[in-house]
Amino acid sequence: MTLVDTRNTNPKNLVKGATGDWEIIIGLEVHAQVQSEAKLFSGSSTEFGASPNDHVSLVDAAMPGMLPVINEECVKQAIRTGLGLKAEINNKSVFDRKNYFYPDLPQGYQISQFKQPIVGEGEVILELGDGEEIRIGIERLHLEQDAGKSIHDLHPTKSYVDLNRSGVALMEIVSKPDMRSSDEAKAYISKLRTILRYIGSSDADMEKGNLRADVNVSVRRPGEGFGTRCEIKNVNSMRFAGQAIEYEARRQIGILEDGGTIDQETRLFDPAKGETRSMRSKEEAHDYRYFPDPDLLPLEFDDAYVEALKVGLPELPDDKRARFIADYGLSPYDADILVVDRESADFFEKVAKGRDAKQAANWVINELFGRLNKEGRDISASPVSAEQVGGVIDLVQDGTISGKIAKDVFEIVWAEGGDPAEIVEKRGMKQVTDLGAIEKVVDEVIAANPEKVEQAREKPGLVGWFVGQVMKASGGKANPQAVNDLLKKKIGID
Ligand code: ADP
Ligand code: MG
């Protein structure tokens, strides 16, 4: 691949060495397990959590004479993902054999795509927190088989092999070397995960190993060309990716500043030590003796096939985000939070329907997500429905309860369920708008604090303190606006 530098150096991304500034260059190869019931070239199940070697067909075990047959569902998923990455879809692609020996690779080669992948160049847009948007180029996406798993810790002298994963379809998504910091790399992985989940082409669950990244890192002096990179294999969490990049960049800077050179090599990240270490010198494509798999025809489809898949795609996160900002008037920040997964976005839209959208966003983000986070729960496991959140908002909006009481109602709905309006009715939580009742409490508070009243006449801001006292005395049920108006009148502030 020809490497083109598409970014201007941002001083914010420079890291200090002993002899001056450095820039970190990062390119990622992400492996995402394709969401499909069967493997790429066999009918075996891809179900997670089965006993070792439960999902292994003769094809997966590479018995002599077995022939691979492509699973169309995996092809569709790769095309759909390519469309989600705004990428070029190649109507003709070729499967190659990538030859190497490994005990958990019974074929002695992996079927992958080399010169002619199913998907070509595309892009991923990252919204960085400070409103900055950057474009990360996609080099390609290709389909390939996963290998099995060697297990070394079950027996003192033997290793075991589990072939359940052998032959499962992976999409390898290769980025251009367009990232310039560990934060950008993490944002990229996170955005990619969001896109895959929207499309439903991978559950992209890093904990299950369904999304892994090979992280390529090099460093250079600002303004120079790309330096020699190291590739850190199989990083399986976003946090580790960040740590591996930070460590690796420091290591390379140290070597270069001491007058050394970087060896292009494959490294491993050790999460326990927080460092990377050499695994092997970098293998080149010719080491694998790639050649087209003679058991498989080139993969071909026409434009109509791609068009039909395009029509079936859901609204993608960037489009949804733009719509939330334009149609609901949300801030980019709120929109980002809400579109991070489809469930959250749908939940918000249900709450916002026929209501003030900013109120809806506030409630969903601050109250609901805040509460879910506290309990380590997902939106799909929320005990409170969109209807219930909407019900609480309606009660505030029509003046039945104050914002403060609304939070209590929300807590009750969270813990016990039920209809917010009924809860308010039954438990006598309604806001007191009866001026006579409020006036009595206001008078009491004023009478009890003559000095504060004097001060408030000088400093009108102090009225807030009185409002607090009256609200407290009324158990939070007084209408705060009415209290405020009444206090000002009685104390004599205009
Ligand atoms: P290979 O197939 O040998 O791993 P590629 O040229 O396909 O090599 O690149 C693999 C990954 O390495 C890509 O994600 C690419 O962006 C990244 N990359 C290439 N050169 C550099 C570099 N100098 N620094 C950081 N990343 C790089
Ligand atoms: Mg590579």
Domain count, the chain: 3
Ligand 1 pocket list (CB less than 6 A): 1, 3, 25-29, 174-177, 216-218, 226-227, 229
Among protein residues, the one whose CA lies closest to atom 24 of ligand 1: 218
Residue nearest to atom 11 of ligand 1 (CA): 27
Distance in angstroms (rounded) separating the CA atoms of residues 212 and 118? 20
Same domain, 469 and 361: no
Of the candidates 429, 385, 425, 382, the one whose C-alpha atom is nearest the C-alpha of residue 403 is: 429
278 and 150 together in one domain = yes
Question: Residue 125 C-alpha to ligand 2 middle, in angstroms?
Answer: 22
pLDDT tens by residue, 406-464: 999 999 999 999 999 999 999 888 877 777 888 888 999 999 999 999 999 889 889 99
Q: What are phi and psi of 354, to 5 degrees?
A: 75, 10
Q: How far is the CA of 29 from the centre of ligand 2 (A)?
A: 7
Give which of 444, 437, 442 is closest to 490, Cα–Cα.
Answer: 442
Residue 178 CA, closest ligand 1 atom number? 16
Domain that holds residue 353: 315-426
Q: What is the pLDDT of residues 213-246, one digit of tens each?
A: 999 999 999 999 999 999 999 999 999 999 999 9
CATH assignment at residue 482? 1.10.10.410
The structure tokens listed for 345 are 């976005």
- Residue at 471 is within a domain: yes
Residues 297, 335, single domain; the answer is no
CA 169 to ligand 1 center in whole angstroms: 22
The predicted model scores a pTM of 0.88
Q: Are residues 21 and 137 in the same domain?
A: yes
Q: What is the pLDDT of residues 259-312, one digit of tens each?
A: 999 999 999 999 999 999 998 887 777 889 999 999 999 999 999 999 999 999
Looking at the structure, tell me whether residues 58 and 115 fall in a common domain.
yes
Q: Of the residues 377, 401, 426, which one is the last residue of a structural domain?
A: 426
**Residue indicated by tokens 């079936």:** 312
Q: Which atom of ligand 1 lies closest to the CA of 282?
A: 3
202-229: b (≥16 Cβ within 10 Å) or e = bbbebeeebbbbbbbbbbbbeeeeebeb
Ligand 1 atom at minimal distance to the Cα of residue 218: 24
Question: Of 377, 369, 380, nearest to 342 (Cα)?
Answer: 380
Shared domain for 304 and 342, answered yes or no, is no
Domain termination residue (choose one: 309, 326, 344): 309
Are both 372 and 353 inside the same structural domain?
A: yes
Domain boundary among 409, 426, 443: 426
Please check whether residues 229 and 117 belong to one and the same domain: yes
Structure letter (DSSP) for residue 208: G
Confidence at 1, pLDDT banded by 50, 70, 90: low
β-strand pairing of 92-93 with 109-112? unpaired
CB 351 within 8 A of CB 360: yes
> Are 304 and 324 within one domain?
no
Q: How far is CA 422 from CA 9, 29, 80, 354, in A?
A: 59, 54, 46, 21
Choosing from 98, 174, 264 the residue with most ligand 1 atoms within 8 A of its CB, the one to mutate for a pocket test is 174
Same domain, 251 and 369: no
Condensed to tens digits (0 to 9), the pLDDT of residues 306-345 reads 999 999 999 999 999 999 999 999 999 999 999 999 999 9
